[in-house]
Structure 1
């Protein structure tokens, strides 16, 4: 599919830059395939009927009507859509705070070329769904990008230090296996949790996260879904959360070639599980706001399926 086409009167600066930007050398994966699928499976349980119908209409036939099947898509397309590489993350100048005006750019300093800008941009595109005349954006791709990038911004090391490329340049051992710190947070912690607690079954882990959402985390959901920006998102806030978690959990007590074992694992995997759940809740909230037109100007509730 071709890159998204600009719509008359909605030529956002970010999309102009998408066509001009060079790719970044940094790896683009965030969460592994399983993490992205889990985030979207959680989101699917909280969609309104109108949002669910719109999502199913926009999904390609290959998705089988399930958003979660397409949530890893943006990682599979990174070598085809080189311009999208910087949209998977944001760098800070090795400080534990995120400022969009300072940090949301690509390696050529084109502004809004980061995960926060991408979430806001694809939300704006999807808000044209149902317009007459029909939107000229490729809204199928907009949906798949948005779902992926909401997952990305919740992986702490996707809002991290420029110097070490979000942990990609920090070599470690995850127990006996060589890895880099970024991969540990993308894949290794999730794989180990699935093996230790969920019989290596993704759906079992999703059900457990859902149980936490309806029980242990139920008091937190109203805070997670709180977003006063009615026409865009609170992606900036999610990035601020992630850089804080990067500093307090991902980077803490880590140095080159260290072996990360039980002490690190048992204090970090609860952070990973909560970020997967938060990503799912917030993706559902964004999609409900976009597609449930009757609630467009009010606080958008979640709908438990």
Structure 2
């Protein structure tokens, strides 16, 4: 597995300054990923499922000013992707698959627009997981910024579970399919990134995102997904598991994202009601699986070795 970038670990103060400057520059701009709310919920779900050793490691890696709250920085990779220093990370947020193929093949699909291999969200998850696996080596490996690796991994585990992030090449995962969401202009990618989440929050939770997140969690703790939780957490080999997550997304994109949608039309209640449970389930799966990976990385070294055997 290739390493995308080598750079030294800056201080937490520098990361804080970079975050604040980035937020000031990009606040209000459209970003092509789970919305801020989607990423925040994914990371909140994951952090609540961390075992003590992993929870401590995550807290140690986060800058002091977020007070141990991983979700406060889960949107950071979107905010820096167009900065010169981080421009190389832009292709890592998605996977473009052949139009209408409706499947994912790593060797065929995981590359950037110039054909550079491993430069996609599936490759990025493997890469940053491998980087974080050096955490317990202390200061012996200074090549990678462990804090940034944590933020990228957390963000990309959200991205790979957003079905339209593993979409068709020609329409850029639905970004060029312009339409209307109820009464306002949007596009198919943005519908899955943000519109469905915000509509669900407004219609059922009084726009309270924390209540929405609690509703999602209750569905896998003692609700309709509780019998599926154990299977979501299963992973003996990271490469195989990440490929599975990407395959799930393109399958959902074909069956539920693209199906029956034409450019210029209006999507409303029928589309929302049938797709909303899928979006919520993918946020849940992303959070559960992120926790599983972090628990492997920062927990029992024997489990970590098994997870990373093929990377």
For 2:78 and 2:136, locate their aligned partners in 1 and report how far apart those are by CA, in whole Å: 28
1:154 alignment counterpart: 161
The counterpart of 1:228, out of the listed 226, 232, 236, is 236
Helix, strand or coil at the partner of 1:273:
helix
* 1:297–1:33 CA distance, 2 compared to 1 (3 A): closer
Which of 2, 11, 21 is matched with 1:13 structurally?
2
Q: By how many angstroms is 1:133 displaced?
A: 4.6
**CA 1:17–1:165 in structure 2 vs 1: closer, same or farther (change >3 Å)?**
farther
**2:106 aligned with 1:100, yes or no?**
yes
- Name the structure 1 match of 2:136: 130
Following TM superposition, the consecutive aligned residue runs of length 4 or more in structure 1 with deviations greater than 4 angstroms are 297-300
Whole-angstrom CA distance in 1 between matches of 2:106 and 2:95 = 9
**What secondary structure, in the 3-state scheme, does the structure 2 residue paired with 1:220 have?**
helix
Q: Matched residues in 1 for 2:191 and 2:233: separation? A: 27
1:96 is paired with a residue whose SS is coil
Alignment of 1:16-55 (within 5 A): 29-55=32-58
Aligned length: 280
- Equivalent position to 1:205, from 200, 212, 217: 212
Conserved? CA contact 1:14–1:113, under 8 Å: no
1:53-98 CA-partner distances (Å, limit 9, x unpaired) = 0000001123221111111110011111110000000010111000
Aligned to 1:7: none
Corresponding residue of 1:260: 267
* Alpha-carbon distance between aligned partners in 1 of 2:55 and 2:264, rounded to the nearest angstrom: 46
**Equivalent residue in structure 2 for 1:121, among 98, 110, 127:** 127
Return 5+ residue gaps in structure 1 as ranges.
1-11, 19-26, 301-305
* Structure 1 counterpart SS, 2:103: coil
Evaluate the alpha carbon distance shift between residue 147 and residue 132 of structure 1 in structure 2; reply closer, same or farther with a 3 A threshold: closer
For 2:206 and 2:285, how far apart are their aligned partners in 1? Answer: 23
TM-score, reference length from structure 1: 0.88
Relative to 1, partners in 2 of residues 1:273 and 1:138: Cα closer, same or farther, differing over 3 Å?
same
The alignment's TM-score, normalised by the length of structure 2, stands at: 0.86
Match of 1:218 among 209, 218, 226: 226
Alignment RMSD (CA, Å): 1.9
Inter-partner Cα distance in structure 2 for 1:125 and 1:278: 23
Q: Distance in 2 between matches of 1:218 and 1:15?
A: 37
Counterpart-to-counterpart distance in 2, 1:197 and 1:299: 42
Structure 1 position 298, deviation (Å): 8.8
SS in 2 for 1:173: strand
Asked if structure 1 preserves the Cα contact closer than 8 Å seen for 2:158 and 2:283, the reply is yes
Counterpart CA distance in 1 for 2:3 and 2:80 is 19
Alpha-carbon distance in 2 for matches of 1:79, 1:250: 27
Q: C-alpha separation between the residues in 2 aligned to 1:69 and 1:110?
A: 32
- Aligned with residue 68 of structure 2, among 65, 68, 71: 65
Residues 133, 304 of structure 2: 8 Å contact kept? no
Q: Secondary structure at the match of 1:106?
A: coil
